[in-house]
Structure 1
């Protein structure tokens, strides 16, 4: 009798194993393609390593899953692609874009932090007489509206007992903003990433960075529908991201050379800027508070009509 029971249980376990294997195999076959956004600037080192080392391909191609990297550099277009079902993962999405998308009904979830880089976001001036944000009263400042840089400007103004009404703010992209600054068409510009050392080389100076004012949180996000259908794939995605971070830590020189080649930034500037970034993907209470600050910025400036529960966006 005991032998029959043992044999029966063995058969049951075998059936369960075979069923589980067939289900996982079917799930892998059902998923034919992964679409992961690729943004290399301002200095998205993990994305560059993942792409150049083909880490995602090595993880998913053996299961018959193709991996594509659409270059979508604007956060709003990234979240639009998620809403349309043409993008699965947002690899490097601004916290601002995450909140705006979710508030407008896009099914999107945050699964990690991509980077924090307060030193990479700056207010710059060319006139030596402009030494701080306090000196911008009545001046013309240019930069991209509704971004981390715009948030930095407002936070810096508050710190100096000023408001946006105390200066002339013009909505311009970073490249055009620097051009305006260097040709004396603007008194200050909002500058980020590789444009910072370039502006420094051309005579500009930093009057304020994000340090102490904001963390400049960039997140990793996924389509909520995709997460529901393929949670195991999302876990594997995060595993690959960890592999890229490990490679960066163990091979700094190769990493700097790879990033310089991909971005056209000198290795010297890559190494300098790399020190500004924290790529730890763990979501901390500080990150959540930073996203809440970002939401308040959007609400106070009329870019968001109602608040949402930030924690509801997070899936760890």
Structure 2
């Protein structure tokens, strides 16, 4: 059956309108490799405590590209945390990653070409736990003790800042470099005196195998930890439309993770990591979800990265100055906030740790 000239033009116009109405699809097969600088209990490929963990467990990226068969999402979880993510970025094995402040700054100082797109897991508190029979009562009591944390992570730098605030340095303690699983085993067996960490330590204390004696929660927010979604510059340059849609997905996950009516469902989702729900409830107690799950690149976040870079050099964690000038790329986040009508959903904070306008 032959179509008239008018009919052919109408059909072509219909297809053109449909194409404009649909999200930009990838013409060539693209695999988006997403890293996460942590891993769940017993090496489960899930995490908890961040909007990035929500994006993984809730399959937000997969849903974003569900109608694009040429785009595939691959997630990678790293027991070696931030340093292992840097190695994967250096080998062009990752396109995006959730990563803490110190390792991402170390990567930048060493020449990794990345951009910081949005916050995820900003303002995370750090906990200090001691062996169950310990007589350690405060941070100052750690002098001369065996203290565990994972070197090269954002918890490492936060621990040093806490020590400094209490008149100590790393030279005043015996540093034991352990990941979360190793820390639990060593603290339980009392092979170490204390450890810095988060949910694993809360869980250990809940079982009566340790005691939490300090947390940055409720203390100066600048003692806490920050993290965000980092992307490889080359991928962004080659795939700006895909980058935008990835950021859209992360922002949607952040919005859902910030909505208080979702608190119970959120902890249930994060439970895929193996962390017990009561521990997550404790971890987020007295904190608004929107405070912990904000994606905003505000003055507090930027100032913290500047300070972390300076502290990292001061403490000998990096050998050269590291500048964040031009590193933060908020245009994709801003586009998502406008597209989703979320410009006023989260509250921005100033460099002094106080909400803007307060």
TM > 0.5: yes
Which structure has the larger Rg? 1
Maintained 8 Å contact 1:43/1:193: no
TM-score of the pair, normalised by structure 1: 0.83
Which position in structure 2 is the counterpart of 1:70? 76
Q: Does residue 241 in structure 1 map to residue 250 in structure 2? A: yes
Offset from partner CA, 1:18-41 (integer Å, 9 cap, x none):
9x96xx96x721352211224555
TM-score by structure 2 length?
Answer: 0.74
Q: Which ranges of structure 1 fall in alignment gaps of 5 or more residues?
A: 1-13
User: What is aligned with 2:197?
Assistant: 191
- Measured after TM superposition, the shift of residue 136 of structure 1 is 1.6
1:268 is aligned to 278
Distance in 1 (CA, whole Å) between partners of 2:256 and 2:173 is 45
Tell me the CA shift for residue 286 of structure 1.
Answer: 1.0
Instruction: Give the whole-Å Cα distance in 2 for the aligned partners of 1:52 and 1:100.
Output: 28
Aligned length: 294
SS in 1 for 2:228: strand
1:103-252 alignment to 2 at 5 Å?
103-119=109-125, 121-126=126-131, 127=133, 129-210=135-216, 211-212=219-220, 213-248=222-257, 249=259, 250-252=261-263
On the 8 A contact 2:128/2:213 being kept in 1, the answer is yes
Task: Kindly indicate whether the alpha-carbon contact (under 8 Å) linking 1:40 and 1:47 is maintained by their aligned counterparts in 2.
Answer: no
Q: Where in structure 1 do 4 or more consecutive aligned residues deviate above 3 Å? A: 38-42, 274-277
Residue 153 to residue 50, structure 1, CA distance change in 2 (3 Å)? closer
Q: Matches of 2:134 and 2:190 in 1, distance apart?
A: 13
How far residue 315 of structure 1 moved from its aligned partner, in angstroms, is: 0.5
1:306 CA displacement: 0.9
Distance change >3 Å, CA 252–CA 207, structure 1 → 2: closer
What per-residue deviation string (whole Å, max 9, x for no partner) do you get for residues 159-211 of structure 1? 22222222222222232223322323222112222332323422422233234
- 2:103 and 2:267 map into 1 onto residues whose CA distance is 28
**Match for residue 91 of structure 2 among 62, 84, 93:** 84
Contact 1:117 1:217 in 2 (8 A): yes
Distance 1:300 1:43 in 2: 31
Query: What is the alpha-carbon distance in structure 2 between the residues aligned to residue 196 and residue 297 of structure 1?
Result: 27
Indicate how the Cα distance of structure 1 residues 86 and 162 shifts in structure 2: closer, same or farther if over 3 A, else same.
closer
Instruction: Say whether residues 1:55 and 2:60 are aligned partners.
Output: yes
Q: Distance in 1 between matches of 2:163 and 2:255?
A: 39
Aligned Cα root-mean-square deviation (Å):
2.6
Please state if 1:102 is matched with 2:108. Answer: yes
Q: 1:287 and 1:309 mapped to 2: Cα distance?
A: 14
Q: Distance in 1 between matches of 2:54 and 2:154?
A: 25
Aligned equivalents of 2:143, 2:84: Cα separation in 1: 34
Unaligned runs of 5+ residues in structure 2 are 1-12, 41-46, 331-358
